[in-house]
Amino acid sequence: MLKRVALAFLAMALIFAVGCKDDDNPAAPATVDEFALVAALGDAYFTNYTSTSGAALNMTAQQLFENLQDGNTANDPVIVDYRSATDFATGHIRGAVNISLANLVAKIDDGTLTKGKTILNVCYTGQTASVATAFLNLMGFDAVNLGWGMCGLTTDGTINGTDKWAAQIAADEFAGQLTATESTPTQTYTYPNPNSGKKTAAEIMKARFGSITSSWSISAADVFANPANYFIVNYWPKAEYLNPGHIPGAYCFEPKVSMTQAAMLKNLPTDKTIVVYCYSGQTSAQLVSYLGMLGYNAKSLMFGMNGFAYGKMTKSKYVPPATDYSAIIVK
């Protein structure tokens, strides 16, 4: 009898020990490949390069004017203005709400911005707003950008900031430094880890977006002073990369075909600041918004080629609006 009791106690002890061992070593949580989750969305977005509803990403001033003046408020976009509160007060598009880029995630979380209507992003020049446009579309909102920003609507001097484009295109400081010498990226890199600790693409992008809102841009003067310090991406078609030419050392990444995992995303370095430039800074700002969420250190060259070699350009040049659209502006 005593032998049986002893054996029973031994069995119970073994069961308890195994149970404790299992409790002390729970199954390891499944690892999340944060980069892959976000890059899958970026692969589609930067190949199609349209809004979630399929619209062109840059709405023109004329299109906005006609929309707001058609007498049908049901089709009006939700207008978000990212300029300073002081400049917003000097004049803004009718119905616009004023927020900062840094508060965009908070305005999603508190329900100020919801899905179901087109969001039109507006700033001074179209560049800051483009950072928001890429983020919102990747998040599943339907977002577009006001091309050229408030400078595309009016040059009314009483509205602060409507001269920003005109002030940039006057000089061609670096036009003489463009080159047609081709540079081809050959090195490949391990993809960065966004390292947000989140489990879904939306959570990862929201966590990462705040870290790029204050450091997404760089001036042409800084880039031309030390071009070797940067990995420079010329975000144009190949023909234009060669003529009118590009910043010395810049690599050609063609829009809609290059920035995917299957193409040239692997050629972007993780140990160097990436500078992306386009014609106006609006497209490059969208790309930099995305690259920052992936974990790269990327910056958009402000004003694009318009800002440093305007006279060399054959397309996508800023021109002050021939029509003044002040009828949709509230002062």
| pLDDT for the residue numbered 1 | 43
pLDDT at 11 exceeding the cut of 80 = no
Question: Which alpha helices (DSSP H) does 147-276 contain, by range?
Answer: 164-168, 201-209, 220-225, 238-242
**% of residues, the chain, pLDDT over 70:** 91
Token couple for 234: 């010329």
**CA-based nearest residue to 247, from 230, 229, 227, 267:** 227
Q: Is residue 130 over pLDDT 90?
A: yes
Residues 149 and 114: beta-carbon distance below 8 Å: no
In the predicted structure, residue 138 carries a pLDDT above the cut 70: yes
What is the model's pLDDT at position 285? 98
Q: Whole-angstrom Cα distance, residue 83 to residue 90?
A: 11
**Helix (H), strand (E) counts: the chain:** 11, 12
Indicate the helix (H) or strand (E) that contains 300.
strand 298-301
Q: How many CB atoms lie within 10 A of CB 178?
A: 17
Over the stretch 164-201, which tens digit does the pLDDT of each residue have? Answer: 999 999 779 999 999 999 999 999 999 999 999 999 99
Write down the pLDDT at residue 253. 98
Q: How many CB atoms lie within 10 A of CB 114?
A: 11
Q: Which percentage of the chain shows pLDDT scores above 90?
A: 89
Q: Report all structural domains of the chain as residue ranges with CATH numbers, in order of start.
A: 34-169 (3.40.250.10), 175-312 (3.40.250.10)
pLDDT at 12 over 50: no
State how far the Cα of 284 lies from the Cα of 267, in Å rounded to an integer: 17
The pLDDT assigned to 155 comes to 95
Q: Which residues pair with 160 in a beta bridge?
A: none
How far apart are alpha carbons 276 and 237 in whole angstroms? Answer: 14
- pLDDT one-digit tens code per residue, 86-110: 999 999 999 999 999 999 999 999 9
- In the predicted model, is pLDDT for residue 7 greater than 90? no
Task: Check residue 17 and give its pLDDT.
Answer: 42
CA distance 229 to 238: 23
Average pLDDT, rounded, for the chain? 92
pLDDT for the residue numbered 24: 52
CA distances from 132 to 108, 118, 156, 220, 226 (A): 12, 13, 25, 22, 29
